[in-house]
Amino acid sequence: MRVIDPDGQQLGILPLQEALEAARARQLDLIEVAPQATPPVCRIMDWGRFRYEQQKKQRESQKKSRQVEIKHIRVRPNTDEHDLEYKLRNARRFLLKGNKVKFNVIFRGPELRHREIGERQLQRFLEGLADIAKPEQVPHMEGRQMIMILEPKPEVLQKLHEERKRQREEEEPAQAIEADGRLISAGAMQAAAMAQPGEPVSEPSQTDGQQEGG
């Protein structure tokens, strides 16, 4: 097998046992990076650190891709009490997850002559969520709809940020399983790269060096 050292320098084509000894001498692992090549290519590196860095990149990617959503709650002037309570609970759940909520009161035909009904409905939502939300847009008419947008209060967002940070810390893998000259297969390496944060990756078995290869 062709062996590359931690600095990217080629050590040449070595038998498996000699490659493992080179990894152990550096207190690192032998990672199979190109099994289909002729001869196969292995690199000497720290397997534990590799897994840590891959999962860290995955977490950062997910963090950057997370965006605030606008959830929609639609009601009619004749929406009954039970439905209003149900929609209020949904709005609270959305806000506590860091999302904004857009409320739409939809009027049809002669209902437009009773806009005060829509105003009372939106005021009810506003008062029922006042402990966790504030208006981004106050109630106003847009065509045949009365619109209001609520956003989470800063303290809600701060608490959510702290909870997510705590979850990331709990999922943080151990910085390094002590490197001890193991031979890590390309399959295990790919699994580590694709693993979701906090997802366990099977530990490779210790290679005893009985196989030989070039």
Q: What is the pLDDT of residues 37-54, one digit of tens each?
A: 888 899 898 888 877 787
> What's the mean pLDDT in 83-101?
96
pLDDT value for 19:
87
Q: Which of 131, 147, 129 is nearest to 139 (CA)?
A: 147
- Quote the pTM value: 0.53
Checking if the pLDDT of 187 tops 80, the result is no
Contact criterion met (CB below 8 Å) for 76 and 114: no
Counting every residue, how long is the chain?
214
Q: What is the pLDDT of residues 141-182, one digit of tens each?
A: 999 999 999 999 999 999 998 888 887 766 554 333 344 445
- What is the greatest pairwise CA distance in the chain? 88
> What's the mean pLDDT in 180-195?
53
β partners of residue 109: none
Residues above pLDDT 70, as percent of the chain: 75
> What's the mean pLDDT in 126-149?
96
- Write down the H helix ranges in the chain: 16-25, 47-65, 81-96, 115-128, 154-171, 186-194
pLDDT value for 123:
96
Q: How confident is the model at residue 35 (pLDDT cuts 50, 70, 90)?
A: confident
> What's the mean pLDDT in 174-194?
49
pLDDT value for 8:
86
**CATH topology agreement for domains 1-46+179-214 and 70-163:** no
> Ranked by mean pLDDT, which of 26-30, 171-175, 196-200 comes out on top?
26-30
Q: What is the pLDDT of residues 69-87, one digit of tens each?
A: 899 999 999 999 999 999 9
CATH topology of domain 1-46+179-214: Ubiquitin-like (UB roll) (3.10.20)
CATH topology of domain 70-163: Translation Initiation Factor IF3 (3.30.110)
Q: Where are the domains of the chain?
A: 1-46+179-214, 70-163
6-10, 28-32, 97-101, 192-196: segment of lowest average pLDDT: 192-196
Helix axes 154-171, 81-96, angle to 10 degrees: 60
Helices (H) and strands (E) in the chain, counts: 6, 9
